[in-house]
Amino acid sequence: MITLTVHIYLLSIPTVQEGEPLVFGHLGWRDTVLIVDLEGSSMVPSDASEVFDEITEMDSTALFKPKVVSLVVTNSESGGPNIMTASWFMLAGYDPFRYLLSVSQRTYTYELIEENPEFVLAAPSGEMIDALSLAGTVSGRDVDKIDHLGLETVPGKDVDVPLLANAIGNVECSVMDSFEFENCTYYFGSVENAYVTSGGLDGRILSLEEDILAYMGSNWGDADADEKYRYHADLEPDDLRRFPDSKVHETLPEEVRETDE
């Protein structure tokens, strides 16, 4: 449904009298509001602003949440183990499976990965909300974050980096490649081993019985906010829905339908 405001200039019918000029009396401008139902109508919006509210670049990041952000664990002989909160990571290939992680060159994590090119991506549980905040705002150069937060660790199997014992799961990665862009280094971490808490997977899906930390973002950048808040969504088992692909594929012509899953 869309609302259009139309400006109509109303004219009176001219009156003509002999010997007098033609005169148009006018009633003036009037705004008329039309409600147009786009469904079933051929009218296409000509501008995004008719359909959406425009948002800032920063607010565009809200569109791709919830996201399970990661606690990135690193370790080096001279530096010791450290954790850093990271949301800039993604799956970046599956032969071998690898994750691409962006690390600011200002972080201690960067120094540690440069010394020992391995890292662990830990998926935090809801009870690790303080770890997400602290590991994302304080540097391991200043505080031993693992010790301060009282986090339990387990030795990695194929990486010399510990796993976080209270996480939902951990992924051991060894750096197979990297590139620099602006002030970040992007590491491709090949998956060595991956773990989930016992019963944490429901088939291929993370079980919503687990206390997943589904991060929704923060009020960072709000000019009038005197305190910073972070938000997470509480996902319950009943929130999971299944949607079979087959239904929508049946709407396609037979020759373009996917036959193999």
C-alpha–C-alpha distance, residues 196 and 24, integer Å: 81
Rank residues 124 and 169 by Cβ distance to ligand FMN and give the closer one: 124
Among 66, 79, 136, 200, binds ligand FMN (CB under 6 A): 136
* 85 to 42, 100, 124, 203, 257: CA distances (angstroms): 48, 15, 10, 28, 42
Judged by beta carbon, residue 87 or residue 178, the one nearer ligand FMN is 87
- Quote the least distance from Cβ 70 to ligand FMN, whole Å: 8
When asked if residue 131 is in the footprint of ligand FMN (CB under 6 A), the reply is no
- Going by DSSP bridges, is the β-strand pair 82-86/89-94 parallel, antiparallel, or unpaired? unpaired
Least separation, in Å, of the C-beta of 212 and ligand FMN?
A: 15
Q: Which whole-number Å values give the CA distances from 166 to 70, 143, 202, 208, in the listed order?
A: 13, 20, 19, 16
185 binds ligand FMN (CB under 6 A): no
Which of 75, 76, 85, 116 contacts ligand FMN by CB under 6 A?
A: 85
Q: Is 140 in the site for ligand FMN (CB under 6 A)?
A: yes
* Interface with ligand FMN, residue 138, by CB under 6 A: yes
For residue 110, the surrounding DSSP H or E stretch is: helix 108-115
The owner of tokens 């589904």 is 214
Least gap, CB of 158 to ligand FMN (angstroms): 23
Burial letters 8-45, b for 16+ CB under 10 A, else e: eeeeeeeeeeeeeeeeeeeeeeeeeeeeeeeeeeeeee
Q: For residue 14, what is the DSSP state?
A: P
Binding residues with ligand FMN: total (CB under 6 A): 18
Rg (CA), the chain: 29
Q: Convert residues 89-128 into a mask of x (bound to ligand FMN by CB under 6 A) and - (unbound).
A: -------------xxx--xxx-------------------
| Angle made by CA atoms 220, 222, 224, in degrees to the nearest 5 | 135
Q: Which stretch binds ligand FMN (CB under 6 A): 36-44, 79-87, 169-177, 247-255?
A: 79-87
Q: From 56-64, 82-90, 151-159, 244-252, give the range in contact with ligand FMN by CB under 6 A.
A: 82-90
Site for ligand FMN, rule CB under 6 A = 69, 82, 84-88, 102-104, 107-109, 136-140
